[in-house]
Amino acid sequence: MLRYRADVRTLGVLLTYAATVVTMWQLDPTGVWAVLGVALTCVLSWLCAVIAHNTVHCPLFLKRWQNRLFQVWVTCSYGFPISEYVPGHNLSHHRYTQEREDVMRTTKVRFGWNLLNGLFFFFAVAPGVTIGNYRYKALMKEKLPQWNQQLTIEILSTWGIKLVCFALDWRKALLFVLIPHLFAVWGITSVNYVQHDGCDMHHPVNHSRNFVGRLFNWVTLNNGYHGMHHIQPSLHWSLLPAAHAEKVKPTIHPNLDQPSLGVYLFKTFIYPGKRVTFDGKPVIIEGEGPDHDWVKTTESAPRDQLGAAAV
């Protein structure tokens, strides 16, 4: 049934998220326990966002109907339609990394205090991503109706569940459903900033920053090996460490293989908190302007980049 046995861990994360939400809903903790419950649910929802990213690049199951159903499950766990990864992520960001066609390029934020760049990156790229989503959905409604249908099902499913939860108990729905989902979409988008800002988009391997800590990658399904993911987006997450060691590590600048995400975040956003390139130079943003149209270039997009409805 599963294409890769390692995805038992993927299913485990999704089940853990569901069990946590149900438990929090039933226990309805207050005070510090409520804060801890929300924090745990936020982290698990973010991990579901990672799974959404992995799934749209490399489907889990052998049969199309299984993958289409699975995408709905992941959508309801992450909180947003995972088919929307296709336009903004697969077809814009992956094809045109850090160029004007990349709606998620890090040059859209230019605060003097780098912490603000990290915090507000999501809000800087969200308008372009949203516009691209609507335009691409309209295009696919004519070009590939089953893709548009899949996206529509995902939209109705995730927002329908949210509405039901709010109808049952608005406070619990806010704490254990909506806030974690908002954190997940903010977090999975914001990680793009630390993965690419200050990198060399024209270099074969120095275009991405990796976080190679063993525990971090076990928990996040190897989300830290971002450079290899860009080189071969459809490669299953379980194969990324070996591929990274073979194809990336021998020639990458050592500063782009970070051993700890936490330490990197502290140095980048707190102290010294400077926005620098991977080799220590100040980041200089030149020629930044409005997004270039990338939607018109997607007519010949390979089907393996379009998710379960097209594979």
Average pLDDT by consecutive 10-residue portion of the chain (311 residues)? Answer: 96 98 97 97 98 96 95 97 91 92 96 97 96 91 90 97 98 98 98 98 97 97 98 97 98 98 98 96 89 72 64 58
Q: In angstroms, rounded to a whole number, what is the distance separating the alpha carbons of residues 122 and 80?
A: 15
By C-alpha distance, which of 260, 216, 219 is closest to 44?
Answer: 219
The predicted model scores a pTM of 0.95
What ranges do the domains of the chain cover? 7-296
